[in-house]
Amino acid sequence: MLNWYPSMMTNSSSTLSAMDVLTDAITAMRAGRPHSKRHVLTSPWGMHFRDDYGAAFHVVLQGSCWLLPPGDAAPVQLGPGDVVFLQNGAPHGLADHPDTPTRPFDPTRQDGLPAGDGTATILLCGAYVLDAARPHPLLTAVPPMIHLPARLGQRDSLRTAVGMLGDELSTPRPGSTGVIAAFIDTLLLYILRTWFEEQAQEVPPAGWALALQDPAVSGALQAIHDAPERGWTVADLAATAGLSRAAFAGRFATLVGCPPMKYLTWWRLTTGARLLRESNQPLATVARQVGYGSDVAFALAFKREYGVTPGRYRHGRQPTDLEGPQTLNTMP
C-alpha cells in the first residue's frame, strides 16, 4: 500500500486530498514492487530500455545526458536535477550523446553497464509495475512522457524526495529495502503532483489538473475514496463539497469527465478488484466494503464491468490478462 508520506508535505487540505487521490490511483494500478538503482556512468555510454521495463523514471543527479524518446521524437537533453517519467513503459534510451550506440539494459545484472573513461554522469533510474489494463482516469490525463527540468527555487519537495532516495541508494543501511520502496512511491507521487499543479496553472486550466486543485471536487473525490461503502447520493456529495446539488453535479462532470455516480460505481468496482487480488476475504465481505448490499449484486455489477465473475477474476487467469473495467472519459 502507498501509505507513507514524508514530513515535507504541505498542510493545505486541498493538496492533501489531491495526494490521497493520487495515492489511491497508483495503488489501484500497482501490479508489482517498484525498483530503482543509482548508476555512475562515464562517457561514451548508452542504454536502451525495453517496453517491459515498466513505467520508468530517470533523474540526473550529476552531469548530463540525452533522453532518446519512444518513436521518432527528437532527443531531449537532460541536465542536473532533471526528472523524466515515462508512463507507458515504451522503449527508450539514455546516452551521453544522441549518436552514441545504446545497449540493452538488464536491471537484474550488476555488471555489463555501458561505460567508457570520459566525463561521469550519475543517474537515478527506476520503474513502477503498473497494470495498464485498469488505468485510473486520473492517469489517462497524464502524457506518455513528463519532463520536469530542474528549476532553482522551485519544486523543492520533488528535489527533496529525489535527494533522499539517491542518498539511500548510494549508502544502504539497515531497513533500506523498505525505505527505498517508500521513497520510490513518494517520488512518483511528487512527479505526478508537480505535473498536475503546473497544468492547473495553465490558461485555461481544465480536467483532472483542475479537479485536484478544486476544493469542492477534490473534497468529494476524497470522500468517495475514503468511504466507498457509504450509500452516497449526489445530494450527499454536494453537501460535502459545500455546493447545491445542480452546481456540484455540473462542476464534477466538467472537471472529472463523468457524473458523480458513475465515478462512484467505477471506483467501488476498482476497489473491489484490488481486494479480490490482494486478500482472501469472502465475496460478501468484499461486497460490503465497496458499498453493495449482497455478493450477488456485487457479482452482477463486477461482471458487467470486467467481463468475468469475481471468482474467475480472483482464481482464474492473471489480472493483467483480464478485460479491465470500462475506462472513464476524463475530459469533457
Q: What would the pLDDT profile of 27-59 be if each residue is shown by its tens digit?
A: 887 777 778 888 889 999 999 988 766 688 999
pLDDT band at 6 (very low <50, low <70, confident <90, very high): very low
Q: How many domains does the chain have?
A: 2
155 domain residue, yes or no: yes
For residue 149, is pLDDT > 70? Answer: yes
pLDDT score of 10 more than 60: no
Q: What is the pLDDT of residues 269-288, one digit of tens each?
A: 999 998 998 889 999 999 99
pLDDT band at 126 (very low <50, low <70, confident <90, very high): confident
Q: Are residues 191 and 223 in the same domain?
A: no
What is the pLDDT, as a whole number, of residue 129?
80
> What pLDDT score does 281 carry?
94
Q: Are residues 194 and 67 in the same domain?
A: yes
pLDDT at 38: 86
Q: Domain limits at 227?
A: 214-321
pLDDT band of residue 25 (cuts 50, 70, 90) is: confident
Residue 331 lies in a domain: no
Strand partners for 57: 85, 126
56 and 172 assigned to the same domain: yes
pLDDT reported for residue 207 = 80
Q: What is the pLDDT of residues 318-332, one digit of tens each?
A: 444 444 455 554 433
**Residue 237 scores a pLDDT above 50:** yes
Strands (E), 187-267: none
Domain assignment of residue 84, yes or no = yes
Q: Are residues 81 and 111 in the same domain?
A: yes
Residues 39 and 60: their CA atoms lie apart, in Å, by 10
Confirm if 86 and 51 have CB atoms less than 8 A apart.
no
Residue 83 and residue 183 in one domain: yes
Domain stop point among 174, 200, 226: 200
Query: Which residue shows C-alpha cell 544522441?
Result: 98
Residue 330 lies in a domain: no
Please give the radius of gyration of the chain, using alpha carbons only, rounded to the nearest integer: 21
The pLDDT tens digits of the residues spanning 202-231 come to 766 668 888 888 899 999 999 999 999 999
CATH of the domain at 117: 2.60.120.280
- Using alpha carbons, list the distances in angstroms from residue 100 to 62, 64, 71, 93, 259: 19, 14, 17, 10, 50
CA gap 100, 131 in Å, rounded: 33
Confidence class for position 66, pLDDT limits 50, 70, 90 = very high
**d(Cα 239, Cα 216) in Å, to the nearest integer?**
10
What is the CATH classification number for the domain harbouring 282? 1.10.10.60
Say yes or no: 60 and 151 in one domain.
Answer: yes
- Judge whether 326 lies within some domain: no
Q: Where among 200, 230, 257 does a domain terminate?
A: 200
Euclidean distance between CA atoms 308 and 304, whole angstroms: 8
Answer yes or no: do 234 and 98 share one domain: no
The pLDDT of residue 109: 60
**Strand runs (DSSP E) across the chain, as ranges?**
35-42, 46-49, 55-62, 65-68, 76-78, 83-86, 92-95, 103-104, 120-128, 145-148
Same domain, 189 and 232: no
Is the pLDDT higher at 72 or at 113? Answer: 72
- Dihedral sign, CA of 227, 290, 275, 88? negative
- Across 53-62, 132-141, 170-179, 270-279, the highest mean pLDDT is recorded for 270-279
The per-residue pLDDT for 90 is 82
- pLDDT of 322 reads 42
Residues 69, 218 share a domain = no
Give the pLDDT score at 114: 57
Same domain? 78 vs 102: yes
- 119 by Cβ neighbours in 10 Å (0-12 / 13-18 / 19+) ranks as middle
Nearest to 211 by CA among 256, 269, 153, 157: 256
Does the residue 3 lie in any domain? no
State mean pLDDT over 51-73.
86
What percent of the chain shows pLDDT beyond 90?
A: 41
209 is a domain residue: no
pLDDT recorded at residue 17: 55
Give long-range contacts, CB 8 A cutoff, 24+ apart: 312-318.
313/273, 313/276, 313/277, 314/276, 314/277
Looking at 177, 200, 223, which one is the last position of a domain?
200
- CB contact set of 190 (below 8 Å; sequence gap of 6+): 157, 158, 161
206 in a structural domain: no
Residues 119 and 182 in one domain: yes
Cα–Cα distance for residue pair 95/123, rounded to 1 Å:
11
Minimal CA–CA distance to 270: which of 231, 210, 319, 236? 319
Peptide bond into 98 cis (omega under 30): no
- Same domain? 185 vs 64: yes
